[in-house]
Chain A
Amino acid sequence: MPSPPPPPASPVSSAGAQPVQPSAATLLVALVGNPNTGKTSLFNALTGFRRRVANFPGTTVELARGPIRGARRALELLDLPGTYSLAARSPDEAIVSGALAGRLPGLPPPDVVVAIVDAANAARNLYLVSQLLERGRPCVVALNMIDLASRRGIELDAGKLAERLGCPVVPVCAINDATIPPLVAAIEAAAGTHPPAPRIDWPAALATACDALRPGLPRAFAAADALRVLLDRDGHAEQAYLAAGGERGPLESARAQLATSGVDGAAAEVRARYAWCTRMLDGVVRRPAQRLVTWSDRLDQVLTHPIGGAAVLVLVLTAVFQTLFTVGDWLMGWMEAGFGLLAEAVGSLLSAGVIQSLVVDGLIGGVGGVLVFLPQIMLLFLFIALLEDCGYMARAAFMMDRVMRTLGLSGRAFIPLLSSFACAIPGIMGTRIIGDRRERFVTILLAPFMSCSARLPVYTLMIAAFVPAITIWGGWVGVQGLTMLAMYVVGVLVAIPIAWLLKRTAARGGLPFLMELPSYKWPRLRAVWQRMYEAGGSFVIRAGTVILLVNLVVWALAYFPRDPATEAAVRAAAAAAGWNEELTGQAVAGAYLRESALGRMGRALEPAIEPIGWDWRIGMAVLASFPAREVVIGTLGTIFNLSAEETAEGAASAPLRAALASARWHDSGAPLFTLPVALSLMVFFALCAQCTSTLVIMGRELASWKWPIVSFVGMTAIAYAAALGVASGARALGW
């Protein structure tokens, strides 16, 4: 397919945000390649770790960019998502083909394309190179992982390959800085050149159909796009063609022409390209007659072994989860304590009143409530980066795939969901390791159903106060422990039909689970730290601000209106009863909370929650826990006129337990908290979405506020129905 010289770089349109906006003097260099080829390492080597990550406008696709070091002119490197082919089938792949074609708003076509090729696996990598060369843009091949190839006895003649491809081929080793300057020089020299189009032997029918379509291509389309539009299977290329003014008539007649010839165009394309790859590599690659066994192969004999592999996997997963749960929790405790001290110190500087409450409860509490998630997020990303960098993550996904299929997901979803049992926020961020968009979407929506550590205080308080400490089944099984286990199981049980439903409605289709199992290698600590830092930073900056805002709104609802008459009435009653200042203060705080907007909302809610057996005070505590589930404990304490010290121990607080046990219905005087009420409250918290941070990070990761709202409404409805069901069931059983 002959390819005309590329059109001059079109002036950048200013529509939308600007992911990359180099000045006229700055050249845009796109880094393209298969997944697992060391693309990120090469990016870091070229830019010296100066990465700026930004979402591509309106998508969840993250593009990293940074200036190339050591160049004589300004070069801006753009890291495109890893892909095996330009025949786009996922949003990631559509971004790659769109960026190369210069079809993305705010992004000019690249001045130079750097195609990274894994030397140990050249044939499959050249498949993508054949598609890149066709586009007629200046191209440089970076031949990476030469060291890995030579360990397998594979040798590649870079000079000969360059001659055949008609573009420079530079051997590099991304972890060896000395190999980088020649690549930078080649990039600079390549600007403005035009590589010859690859001579692929197309079946006649395919070539004819493309030729028929080509004259009708819109101006922005390269000749190579004819094939993409013709064989388009998922609509991305066709959409772009029609949007750019291409006509449906010629496209349909070209497709009909191909269909009558009886040639399966897509399969023929793949065969023709691989035939070209084989020709390019004939005499260029030398490999030993007998495949060399590497230490990576030997490791796999153990690590994916049916018994040994499963044992190691259990060990690794236990270590990850235990660290998140214990070390993460311990660090969170320290942060909470630190913010508590800060709040106390600042609080003592301000006189009591709205400013003090805003600063202490609203701002310091709110910022603390955001930053408290940082340790767990960074710990999870430490593990994810280590496991992914060394190649074990793919093995873990391989081994867990069968289990996750019961949820309609793949093995990749396992680690994010497992870590959601510690906290859904790192879990949802961890879904970035899932390549398939639909699967990632389902996993994000399921994550809040995994019972996180913030639910534990609610469970422990209710169990300790209302579930009898007896044993059943011959004294082996404690009822309290069994109740706790049931709370963890209920989330998973509800997640199964939800996953099923999502896979059949909003997340239909999806790619087959074909996952490369890369060779094992040593993780690079600097790259690991970078992943942790970026995850923490993106949480604080992108999600933290919104979380803080929502939490401030809830603070205001619980603070206002503040009628001095309320306080005066309580003080008068307290003076008459002879209460000391401390008791009076607690009673005043309780009265204000009951009179607040939130208290009124709780009362308005009472008709809806009465069937479960909840009064307005429980309803209000549930409302107040919207920023975070564990807040319900402190709110219950305040409603029942307890001091902050008395509820500080949370679930272990004896005064709180006693206050709950003695609480009465305001009309009948019957006990408020019974076993059915306690169980229903636990089930409600197991299934509800009372967590601002989870909902905000969900919105950020899915680049849409629609799904957090759907998730909140849906989960609240499920939690309400389950609470009602459990309470009625328990009452029917006479508990």
Chain B
Amino acid sequence: MNLAGAPLQKAVRVTQVHIQCPSGYRLMEMGVIEGAELQVLRRAPLGDPLQVRLGDYELSMRARDAELIDVIAA
């Protein structure tokens, strides 16, 4: 599954980041690398973007970017 489809509030682990586009590298530099633990906290009122907890901080990520991140339940 990818992060855009991950259940809310459940911890997931990154298995792969699809880096063919520049977003991918930026995601990795922000700490989204294989093995990192993520949690989708909630969606914005209009359904997109997602509020994601990554380690010790939180960030806003559009569903389109979240689809680049493959995850499994942690």
CB within 8 Å of B: which residues of A?
Answer: 84-85, 87, 89, 120-124, 127, 152, 154, 233, 264, 266-267, 270-271, 274, 300, 304-307, 309-310, 313, 394, 397-399, 401-403, 411, 511-518
Contacts and interface: CB of A to CB of B under 8 A. Distances in A.
B33 to A, nearest CB: 6
Nearest to B53: A291
B56 A120 contact: yes
Given A89-B22, A402-B47, A511-B26, A123 B55 contact: yes
B26 A89 contact: yes
B59 A517 contact: yes
B28 A515 contact: no
Nearest to A83: B29
B42 A513 contact: no
B60 A124 contact: no
A85 B22 CA distance: 14
Given A124-B56, A517-B51, 8 more contacts: A122-B56, A123-B56, A267-B19, A271-B33, A271-B34, A300-B41, A397-B60, A514-B30
B23 A512 contact: yes
A121 B49 CA distance: 22
B29 A512 contact: no
A515 B60 contact: yes
A309 B41 CA distance: 14
Max chain B Cβ within 10 angstroms of own Cβ: one of A233, A398, A513, A516 = A398
A403 B58 CA distance: 22
Given A399-B44, A401-B48, A264 B59 contact: no
A124 B26 CA distance: 12
B55 A124 contact: yes
27 contacts: A87-B25, A89-B22, A89-B26, A120-B56, A123-B56, A152-B56, A233-B22, A270-B29, A274-B31, A300-B51, A304-B42, A306-B43, A397-B60, A399-B44, A399-B45, A401-B60, A402-B44, A411-B60, A511-B26, A512-B27, A512-B62, A513-B60, A514-B27, A514-B65, A516-B59, A517-B59, A518-B57
A665 to B, nearest CB: 52
A267 B25 contact: yes
Interface centre among B17, B46, B49 (most CB of A within 10 A): B49
A127 B29 contact: yes
B72 interface: no
A271 B32 CA distance: 10
A191 to B, nearest CB: 30
Nearest to A517: B58
Contact of A304 (B17, B19, B44, B55): B44
B43 to A, nearest CB: 7
A511 B22 contact: yes
Contact residues of B: prevailing secondary structure = mixed
Contacts of B61: 513-514
Contacts of A305: 42
Question: What 5 A-B pairs are tightest by C-beta distance, nearest first?
Answer: A512-B23, A402-B46, A310-B45, A270-B28, A517-B58
Contacts of A271: 28, 33-34
Contacts of A154: 56
Interface in B8-37: 17, 19, 22-31, 33-34
Nearest to B47: A402
Given A399-B45, A402-B48, A515-B59, A124 B65 contact: no
A402 B59 CA distance: 16
Contact of B44 (A274, A398, A514): A398
A266 B17 CA distance: 13
A498 to B, nearest CB: 23
A306 B45 contact: yes
A402 B65 CA distance: 14
A512 B22 contact: yes
A312 to B, nearest CB: 11
A306 B29 contact: no
Contacts of B41: 300
A85 B28 CA distance: 11
Nearest to B31: A124
A411 B50 CA distance: 13
A678 B27 CA distance: 53
B29 A84 contact: yes
Contacts of A233: 22, 25
Contacts of A513: 49, 60-62, 65
Given A89-B22, A401-B48, A512-B26, A270 B33 contact: yes
Contacts of B19: 264, 266-267
A460 to B, nearest CB: 35
Contacts of B44: 304, 306, 398-399, 401-402
Contact of B60 (A274, A306, A309, A514): A514
B35 to A, nearest CB: 9
Contacts of A397: 60
A394 to B, nearest CB: 7
A267 to B, nearest CB: 5
A401 B44 CA distance: 9
Given A121-B57, A514-B60, A516-B58, A398 B26 contact: no
Nearest to A311: B45
Contacts of A401: 44, 48-49, 60, 62
A699 B49 CA distance: 33
Contacts of B65: 512-514
